[in-house]
A and B are shown apart, each in its own frame.
Chain A
Amino acid sequence: MKPLLDITDLTVRNLRPAADGSAPTSLIHGLSLSVNAGEFVALVGGSGSGKTLTALSAVRLLPPPLAITAGTVRLGSVDVTTAAETELNAVRGGEAGMLFQQPKRVFNPNRTIGAHLLEPLRVHRRLRGAAARTAAVDLLREVGFADAPKGFRSYPHQLSGGMAQRAMTAIALAGQPRLLLADEPTSALDKVLERQVLQLLDRERRDRGLGILYITHNIASVAPFADRVLVMDSGAIVEEGPTASVIAAPTTAYTRELLAASQLAPESGRRPQPVPREVLTLTDANKRFGRGRRAHTALDNVSLNLQRGEILGVLGQSGSGKSTLARAIVGLEKVDSGSITRHPDTAGKTPPATAVQLVFQEPHGSFDPRMTLRASMEAPLRRRRDLTPADRTRRITEAMADVELDECLLDRHPGQCSGGQLQRATIARALLLDPTILICDEATSALDALTQRTVLNLLLRLQREHSLSLLVISHDMDVIRYMCDRVAVLLDGKVIEVAETQAFFAGPSHEHSRALVDAAIPCRWDHLRTLMPGASRT
């Protein structure tokens, strides 16, 4: 059988000479891969490994000055590297449909979903008028729009991330392609939605006999669906084979690293039990944004308490109100009603407002790009009259050592630091203020998996050493399970369940919690290993 997509010895270079006049760098060197009809192939690699460029090369849509300089790409019967543009236009969307990473950004914001959907129907299937409309609505229904005519009329901004990804799938399928190139289509979605999209693609694969090249950085999430796995690093394929064997017996260190990164094993030694003494209490906190029909309830009668030395996880999907909760506790938002109380310490003194510190999700946003890290860290200390400049310097140096960062970073600007370094620096800045409570709002979600783990371990150590109370806010089940003593689940601004971590993962009581836990399980490769052999797909 001839493969749908056959790439041999592909080389992609940046044709613009580098600043120092050296030869153009090669971004992909001698890559070969093929995808057959009805086959689900996963292309896995870290950021910058060249996975996206591979997908773009398959339909020759590389952004200039990048170009294919050697090798052949055959899509069906067309040689993509030498074909004329008009021929390629028939291939793009007609032979190979494409899914992109940011479902929201790939739509023209000024046009309806329907208008987008009609384009490939006209170009590839010559459908116009009522026939095209019917076909479009049918496609939307097929990908899971309950009210397809309404979906047809809606604008991109009116769709949720998950629905936008479904709409994009409909568009990619509209030209009746035999191959689907999916470039991290779910990395902007949470795990529940990710699984739904994968299930949809898998169904289309079976129904239409599609070949799928699925690009991702998360090997575990595609493992239940993929027939073969290709691991890519620095522009070349370093390992390939059937999914089960790659997972069970990885041959390269890089693959092992990727596998390890997608797993967070529960900590072995338990931390000392938290002292039953409340440091923070939320009572019936309510917060609404907007008015009238557009109003949105972010916090709905939220009552929670945090014990001294405890790590409490707040689990919720995007839009569940978990960020509002963090912002309300540190005082960036005022609650409409209810109370947020910080309790006095053993000496009977109520700690200052700065004793509650927050670590934000986006590491590059937390520091002013115009100031050095030292200047940013020193600013809050300047208000302390009892500290001399020498004291300030000493304390900053100590805090940096505490988060295992080199002191020389202090004189850099945020733009010169990596995300992991900045997230550590954010933690150091928080420590400077002698906090009793540290809130981590998706503090590691923007980091890659390896860095994520080191930052989480750092947080655990600091929590022990400084006897902090930690509030860990995340959508990531693995993070919660790894870190927390107790879990609170937030849904549409309501706390629907609070339980001990182990009890929670053993048997969540609320239906929504169960959906979250179920979606998370196949993403853990240690579970996978037991699932994989023989058990392909049902």
Chain B
Amino acid sequence: MRRRLNTHHLAAAVLTLVVIAVAIAPWIYPYPPAQQNLAERLAPASPEHWLGTDHLGRDTLSRLLEGGRFSMTVAALATMLTCLLGVAIGVLSARRRGWVDEFLTRTNDVLLAVPEMVVALFIVATLGTGFGPLLLALTVTGWTPFARLSRTLAYDVSSRGFVEAAHVVGCSPSFIIFRHVIPHLAGPILGQATLRFGHLLISVGALSYLGLGVQPPQSDWGSMMAAAQPYTERAPLGILAPGLAIFVMALCVTLIGQRAARMATGPLLLPTADRT
């Protein structure tokens, strides 16, 4: 079979590279990210500072590597949390049906209508800023797409003959859920998860940008952009670089996610005809 280099291969390569770079940031960054140098404020890109410096003379590249740690960790954790919660709720809905399903589906409908940002503001207003509230803010509304998708898929698979056949031949409920239902969900859910990771990365940045996410002295890509905004005209790199980082990361996971979702819904082996 011919192998072609596709966009999603490139995306996976870029993503891997950035994840590794961010993970080993403390050993590779050119300057300590917090080191100020007021003589070199808002410097443009140069051999010393590849991406210039910010309004306090801190090296943008170093801060970018450092800031990625927070954004990506929160986004990854929130993705996992929402995914687990959503799949559990969706499968429960589809398997139990009746009023349990009704209740969970209605809640989902309502949460879908409630703006995510409002809920996040609401939670931060109530519980204050910090890692925990941030994660909670993203999880409270974030599970709904997973629940929707896994409910639909689990419903679909539950009404397929082979699940009913498994009931009739006496397979255990856990066997049915873990061997028949969950594998059927895995592909689309994985696709959804990568898409949601990109979305959450942007949301984390948004909250930090508003000052409701990461708190100083820590920083992430969102807060870097907020700090650089007043100097957009003098040093556009300060806002361009972290924005580009979020954009590229989100784009990469989107491309990979779409590919995963396409593969998951691709044709299974087609039945052969009964001709003799």
Direct contact between the two chains A and B in their complex (CB within 8 A): yes
Which chain A residues have a beta carbon within 8 Å of chain B's beta carbons? 46-48, 327, 330-332, 352-354, 356-358, 360, 362, 364-371, 376, 379-380, 382-383, 413-420, 426, 429-430, 432-433, 447-448, 450-451
Return B172 CB to nearest CB of chain A, in Å: 6
Contact of A417 among B170, B179, B272 (CB under 8 A): B272
Asked if B161 is at the interface of the complex by the 8 Å CB criterion, the answer is yes
Contact of B169 among A327, A419, A429, A447 (CB under 8 A): A429
Return A464 CB to nearest CB of chain B, in Å: 23
Q: Is the CB of A380 within 8 A of B271?
A: no
A371 to B165 CA separation, bound complex (whole angstroms): 14
Chain B residues whose C-beta falls within 8 Å of the C-beta of A420 in the assembled complex: 274
A235 to B46 CA separation, bound complex (whole angstroms): 73
Asked if B20 is at the interface of the complex by the 8 Å CB criterion, the answer is no
**Additional A-B contacts beyond A48-B275, A366-B161, A418-B273 (11; CB < 8 A):** A331-B168, A353-B170, A358-B168, A369-B162, A380-B171, A383-B171, A383-B172, A414-B271, A415-B270, A433-B169, A448-B275
**In the complex with contacts A379-B179, A380-B170, A419-B161 CB distance below 8 A:** no
A412 to B166 CA separation, bound complex (whole angstroms): 18
Q: Is the CB of A360 within 8 A of B270?
A: no
**In the complex with contacts A379-B175, A380-B169, A383-B171, A450-B164 CB distance below 8 A:** no
Chain B residues whose C-beta falls within 8 Å of the C-beta of A417 in the assembled complex: 271-272
Chain A residues whose C-beta falls within 8 Å of the C-beta of B164 in the assembled complex: 327, 332, 360
Between B175, B179, B275, the greatest number of chain A beta carbons within 10 A of the residue's beta carbon is seen for B275
A360 to B165 CA separation, bound complex (whole angstroms): 8
Which chain B residues have a beta carbon within 8 Å of chain A's beta carbons? 160-162, 164-172, 175, 179-180, 183-184, 268-276
Q: Is the CB of A379 within 8 A of B171?
A: yes
Return B135 CB to nearest CB of chain A, in Å: 34
Top 7 A-B pairs ranked by shortest CB distance?
Answer: A365-B161, A415-B269, A380-B169, A354-B170, A368-B162, A418-B274, A366-B161
Q: Is the CB of A364 within 8 A of B168?
A: no
Chain B residues whose C-beta falls within 8 Å of the C-beta of A418 in the assembled complex: 271-274
Return B20 CB to nearest CB of chain A, in Å: 33
Contact of B165 among A352, A353, A367, A447 (CB under 8 A): A367
Chain B residues whose C-beta falls within 8 Å of the C-beta of A371 in the assembled complex: 179
Q: Is the CB of B162 within 8 A of A376?
A: yes
Count of CB-CB pairs between chains A and B under 8 Å: 91
Chain A residues whose C-beta falls within 8 Å of the C-beta of B161 in the assembled complex: 360, 362, 365-366
Q: Is the CB of A47 within 8 A of B169?
A: no
Sampled A-B contacts (12; CB under 8 Å): A331-B168, A352-B170, A354-B170, A357-B168, A358-B168, A416-B272, A417-B272, A418-B272, A426-B165, A429-B165, A432-B169, A451-B274
Contact of A447 among B166, B172, B274 (CB under 8 A): B274
Chain A residues whose C-beta falls within 8 Å of the C-beta of B270 in the assembled complex: 415
Q: Is the CB of A330 within 8 A of B168?
A: yes
Chain B residues whose C-beta falls within 8 Å of the C-beta of A47 in the assembled complex: 273, 275
Return A329 CB to nearest CB of chain B, in Å: 10
- Chain B residue, CB-CB nearest to A430: B169
**In the complex with contacts A369-B268, A379-B179, A415-B269, A46-B275 CB distance below 8 A:** yes
Return A432 CB to nearest CB of chain B, in Å: 8
A417 to B224 CA separation, bound complex (whole angstroms): 59
Return B222 CB to nearest CB of chain A, in Å: 41
Return B231 CB to nearest CB of chain A, in Å: 54
A379 to B164 CA separation, bound complex (whole angstroms): 14
**In the complex with contacts A360-B164, A379-B171, A370-B271 CB distance below 8 A:** no
Return B4 CB to nearest CB of chain A, in Å: 16
Chain A residues whose C-beta falls within 8 Å of the C-beta of B162 in the assembled complex: 365-369, 376
Chain A residues whose C-beta falls within 8 Å of the C-beta of B274 in the assembled complex: 418-420, 447-448, 451
Return A245 CB to nearest CB of chain B, in Å: 27
Chain B residues whose C-beta falls within 8 Å of the C-beta of A414 in the assembled complex: 271
Chain B residues whose C-beta falls within 8 Å of the C-beta of A368 in the assembled complex: 162, 166, 179-180
Chain A residues whose C-beta falls within 8 Å of the C-beta of B168 in the assembled complex: 330-332, 354, 356-358
Q: Is the CB of B170 within 8 A of A383?
A: yes
A176 to B264 CA separation, bound complex (whole angstroms): 48
- Chain B residue, CB-CB nearest to A448: B274
Chain A residues whose C-beta falls within 8 Å of the C-beta of B165 in the assembled complex: 358, 360, 366-367, 426, 429
Q: Is the CB of A415 within 8 A of B169?
A: no
Chain B residues whose C-beta falls within 8 Å of the C-beta of A354 in the assembled complex: 168-170
A332 to B163 CA separation, bound complex (whole angstroms): 11
- Chain A residue, CB-CB nearest to B161: A365
- Chain B residue, CB-CB nearest to A364: B271
Return A385 CB to nearest CB of chain B, in Å: 13
A261 to B181 CA separation, bound complex (whole angstroms): 39
- Chain B residue, CB-CB nearest to A361: B161
